[in-house]
Amino acid sequence: MGILTKIKQFCFVTLRIWKYKLLSDCKNVSGKPNLFVPLLLKGKGKISFGENVQNGVTSAHFTYSTYNYILANEADTEVSIGNNVVLANGASIQAVSKVTIEDNVMIGINCFLVDTDGHDLDPEKRMDGDVKTGAITIKKNVVVFYNSVVLKGVTIGENSVIGSCSVVTKDIPPNVFAAGNPAKVIRNL
């Protein structure tokens, strides 16, 4: 690695990683991911990382301009990330109840996992109504490709692959390729 590359890495990645560590306010974090892009950890809940979790991919685009975001909103919220997981650049996880990512999972660039509607659908309750939530579970060896969204209450079965730009609204069985909006099974693997 040349001196110019080292300077660029320090100025545009390392300093930003430190900045986002300072901005993070989640106090209940266990495990230590490998940080290749900044990671912002927010909320009152629990966030746990397994062994060899990779946050960001240096050879991917947005290395110098993005960060990954994990929100464990409430005190009883839990975000659990297993071993050998890759969260590519721009990945976001927002949990009110629970998000579980098992071992050997790859989450692509700009993917979004959210276990809540965010607001009540009834216009009268939208600002202060009860928020509907449902746990998300991503089983072992799953790949979720670029720009996909996984919504509340979804389980993606072992070894399945979610195609780019998909919106996963319902459970996906194991060992399939699924894609689309809403995502549906295209073929078995």
Q: Which residues are catalytic?
A: 119
Closest CA to 82 of 35, 47, 50: 50
Distance CA 105, CA 160 (A): 10
Nearest partner of 64 among 6, 3, 12, judged by Cα: 12
3-state secondary structure at position 48: strand
Nearest to 68 by CA among 124, 7, 109, 127: 109
Backbone angles phi, psi at 95, to 5 degrees: -120, 135
